[in-house]
Structure 1
Amino acid sequence: MLTHISPDGVAPAQGYSHAVVGEGRLVVISGQIALDEKGNLVGEGDPAAQARQVFENLKRCLEAGGATFADVAKLTFYVTDVAFLPAIRVARDAHVDVARPPAGTAVQVAALFRPDLLLEVEALAVLPW
């Protein structure tokens, strides 16, 4: 079980939790990109389509580790342009409890490992013992 914390003296979070506390087994999901099961890019030049594929890939990885998005304590977003964040949030919000979202960090990067990739997202989940 995760506890979402909004500490006193810290500006209110919008779309993420400042702190999430959990006890149990850690599931670490590598950064996921917008490749389908055959390795083909989904949504060239389209951040919304890429975000949807990324979150589907995260879902599959979480399931393989015995977790769901309800177990995710933290998401880290790497984007080539912060202007993509609204589209990414739509994809994220289709999977997480928006009333109790995971902790999150968004970082704009100069590039990802392929020039056609617009975002990469990694996850940390906590499962009960």
Structure 2
Amino acid sequence: MPVKLVHPENVNRVEVHHQVAVAQGSRIIHLAGQVSWDTEGNLVGHDDVAAQAEKCFLNVAAALDAVDATMADLAKVTVYVVDLDEQKAGQIVEGRDRAAAALGVELQQPSTWIGVTALAAPGYLVEVDAVAVLP
């Protein structure tokens, strides 16, 4: 595994993700933002932040699989949330954790969450982009 996740001693420990990822490898994978659409382009989880987050992370996994990578290869995740607030933050964690359970992995890579006013298409509440590293 080319990515080692770290909780530094002198930085606030956040339980939902690690603060640092040390990545060593020769292939860097940059994913486009993944929204909660199915393979036909239909919105999954209308008005449901947790369902949309879950589908976004499942789509990240599918995109990584297409290049022979896994969620364990993730070095950094960015989550964009329409009108981010504390309640939606909890729903993002819920959706992420459901995706992790479905995939049989732990998703605690360093992440940044950004509140936005809108995403590219009406109805989308969450978008996730990511960077992975392969040996």
**Common fold: TM-score over 0.5:** yes
Tell whether 2:14 aligns with 1:13.
Answer: yes
Question: Which moves more between the two structures, 27-36 or 51-60?
Answer: 51-60
- 2:28 aligned partner, one-letter code: L
Corresponding residue number in structure 2 for 1:60? 62
Find the counterpart in structure 2 of residue 122 from structure 1: 129
Structural RMSD (CA): 1.4
With structure 1 as the length reference, what TM-score do the two structures score?
Answer: 0.89
| Residue type at the aligned position of 2:42 | N
Q: CA deviation at 1:81?
A: 2.7
Which of the numbers 90, 95, 106 marks the counterpart of 1:91? 95
Taking structure 2 as the reference length, the TM-score comes to 0.85
1:14-93 aligned within 5 A: 14-24=15-25, 25-82=27-84, 83-93=87-97
| Separation in 1, partners of 2:92, 2:46 | 15
Asked whether the equivalents of residues 52 and 95 of structure 2 are also in contact (C-alpha less than 8 Å), the reply is: no
CA distance in 1, matches of 2:15, 2:83: 19
Shift of 1:9: 2.3
1:80-109 superposed Cα distances (whole Å, 9 cap, x missing partner): 1323222221222242425xx201000101
Unpaired runs of at least 5, structure 1:
none
Shift of 1:115: 2.5
Q: How many residues align?
A: 126
Partner amino acid for 1:91? G
Q: Distance in 1 between matches of 2:132 and 2:50?
A: 24
Q: Which runs of 5+ in 2 are unaligned?
A: none
**In structure 2, distance between residues paired with 1:126 and 1:15:** 21
Question: In 2, Cα distance between the equivalents of 1:43 and 1:87?
Answer: 12
Aligned-partner Cα distance in 2 for 1:88–1:73: 19
CA deviation after TM superposition for structure 1 residue 6, in Å: 2.2
Secondary structure in 2 aligned to 1:21?
strand
Quote the Cα distance in structure 1 between the aligned partners of 2:73 and 2:10: 27
Q: C-alpha separation between the residues in 1 aligned to 2:38 and 2:129?
A: 16
